[in-house]
Structure 1
Amino acid sequence: MNYTIGQLARLSGLPVKTIRFYSDIGVLPERGRTRSGYRLYGDEDRGRLELVRTLREIGVDLATIRSLGERDLGEVLSLHLRTVETQIRALQRTRAVLRATLERDEPADDDLRRLNALGRLGAAETAALVNDFVDEVAGENAARQEWLGGLRAAMVPDLPDEPGIEQLDAWLELTELLADDGFRASLRAMSGDFWQNADGIDVAAWHEANTLVTERALAAARDGVPPESEAAAPLVAELVAALAGAQRRTPESVVRDYAEHDPRAGRYWELVAVVNGTPWPPESVIAHEWIAAAATTHLG
């Protein structure tokens, strides 16, 4: 059965001008026209119009609805669900900041900074920031690209549904570090000779050596061996030699890496731990901080 636009409006409860607009932009294509030029629609258009109205009520944009002719409805709804969930997380973050701000007698500039930053950094903006960071730090080095690519998902963790102010501040500091040109340049310069020769390294042997070195340094730290003590000297020399051999480098270059290590790199992963609510520092950090202190004292 065919319906004019006026009949379809009465049946659907939608204004004629709305149906005409949907037809003009391709959301509800007309089936034909009468001899007098009136648009005609069929029974299937009544159903589609109900679908369009439902999708609009839950916030699906018209461009997505228009593409339904080429896309499965389930795919469209799944996409919209992800969008809604992202919006909910953003609103929850904003709510947490507003609640914390209103609990204070006098809101401060930091509170406005948080609100402004959260408003600017949605999921798409954060993903673009991470991608740009990885591309700039890795440069043309394939090994470094692969290594940073594996860390990409962990670089800016999702905030919990009800983040605390400390977590919000850590998350914002993370994004500031990612955008910091000086931090990017520092990371790009760190361990330069290692990354230049990384393609020729036996990765399995490297991981094995690093695991053993970490375990022995951690044991020394837990046993209370001060890294500046004479007792630490032979151990750190042995550990640095093991790392140098696995990485096909000189012990001097390994010591130089420890001495030139940018403390902001450690701070970065500490902030990740704050956002995730996980303990800090992990055993690997304790171990390598011990090695760094011992190496710069005895081998520097």
Structure 2
Amino acid sequence: MTYTIGRLSKLTGMPVKTIRFYSDSGVLPERERTASGYRIYGDEDRARLELIRTLREIGVDLATIRSLGERRLRSVLDLHLKAVETQLRSLQRTRAVLKATLGKEGDPAEDDLRRLHALSRVGGAEMGLLLDEFVDEVGGGIEARHEWLANMRDCMLPELPEEPTTAQLDAWMELADLLADEDYRESLRSQSKDFWEADIDLESWQETNTKVMREGLAAARAGVEPGSAESAVVVERILTAMGQTREEMLRVFDEHDPRAARLWELVAIIQKTPWPADQTIAYTWIEAALRKLEG
């Protein structure tokens, strides 16, 4: 099917002036014209206009829409579906918070309004952009550190449920604030600068880290008492694997920012996964054992 711009306007409910603007600006690529110079559109253009309208409604700018380029109708519809589903999830979350707020006696409290504001300010897309910014800034131009953070990105980006609990919403807001916290970003950059600037093999380091974590986790689960003779044997294996002395490893713990553990706790609250995580259990035991043996 082909349509004149007037027919396309009636089918989509979009003003001729708007369609012409989208065509002239390259958002709706021009396909062909009649011998008289009138624009001719097809079903793909009709679908693309619907997509453009949806993307504009959720705040996508024209430059981004223009960059989508030429796509087959199926691809356009698929992207349209994803955009609609994103809108639905956002509306369902807002509905859940409104229902919880209105289900209480009296006027909404300040915390209720804060949660509603947070949903409008930081959705899934905004959290993703915030995390990208966090990774780039904390990476600080050090390639190995940036690569490690980039690999961790998806783990740090939980999906807020369609009907989040109050605890999940509060965790979501706190996570957004923490990722945006300039002091926290600077803390992570400065603490890890010397380590990441060294010429390290990232893959080898990750293998060592996994080995150490398993040692600490096994000891914690076995009930090995920190400071005991048995714990000293485990700690020596860990120090050998890390290539560090007790003093050096304790200094790492002393300089560690506790907000890093809080970040992972917030992710666990949002995802409703067990907390503390295995790595947290392992390193909590290792630190306790080191301090007992040194103290």
- Which TM-score band (shorter chain)? 0.7 to 0.9
Q: Distance in 1 between matches of 2:68 and 2:209?
A: 53
- Residue matched to 2:127: 126
1:244 alignment partner AA: M
2:222 paired with 1:226: no
| Preserved contact between residue 137 and residue 184 of structure 1 (Cα < 8 Å) | yes
SS class of match (2:115): helix
Q: Distance in 2 between matches of 1:69 and 1:134?
A: 28
Specify which of 225, 236, 244 is matched with residue 242 of structure 2. Answer: 244
Distance 1:98 1:18, change over 3 A: closer
Distance 1:282 1:17, change over 3 A: closer
- Residue matched to 1:284: 279
2:289 paired with 1:294: yes
- Residue matched to 1:235: 233
2:178 alignment partner AA: L
Displacement of 1:13: 5.8
Q: Distance in 2 between matches of 1:200 and 1:67?
A: 38
2:242 alignment partner AA: A
Q: Distance in 1 between matches of 2:48 and 2:141?
A: 50
Displacement of 1:186: 1.7
Q: Distance in 2 between matches of 1:196 and 1:82?
A: 41
Displacement of 1:235: 3.2
SS class of match (2:153): helix
1:5-20 alignment runs, 5 A limit: 18-19=15-16
Q: Distance in 2 between matches of 1:97 and 1:281?
A: 27
Q: Which runs of 5+ in 2 are unaligned?
A: none
2:211 paired with 1:216: no
1:29-178 alignment runs, 5 A limit: 31-33=34-36, 48=43, 51=46, 55=50, 59=54, 70-106=70-106, 107-178=108-179
Q: Distance in 1 between matches of 2:131 and 2:9?
A: 47
TM-score (norm 1): 0.77
1:222 alignment partner AA: R
Distance 1:280 1:40, change over 3 A: closer
Write the deviation string for residues 59-89 of structure 1: whole angstroms up to 9, x where unpaired. 4669699999943222222222221122112
Q: Distance in 1 between matches of 2:17 and 2:53?
A: 21
Q: Distance in 2 between matches of 1:58 and 1:154?
A: 32
| Preserved contact between residue 155 and residue 272 of structure 1 (Cα < 8 Å) | yes
Q: Which runs of 5+ in 1 are unaligned?
A: 34-38
Distance 1:239 1:83, change over 3 A: same
Q: Distance in 1 between matches of 2:283 and 2:18?
A: 65
Q: Distance in 2 between matches of 1:12 and 1:256?
A: 68
Q: Distance in 2 between matches of 1:13 and 1:144?
A: 54
> Which piece of structure 1 moves more, 211-220 or 262-271?
211-220
SS class of match (1:190): helix
Q: Distance in 1 between matches of 2:170 and 2:262?
A: 13
2:248 paired with 1:253: yes
1:221 alignment partner AA: A
1:89 alignment partner AA: R
Distance 1:21 1:242, change over 3 A: closer
- Residue matched to 2:19: 22
TM-score (norm 2): 0.78
> Which piece of structure 1 moves more, 236-245 or 103-112?
236-245
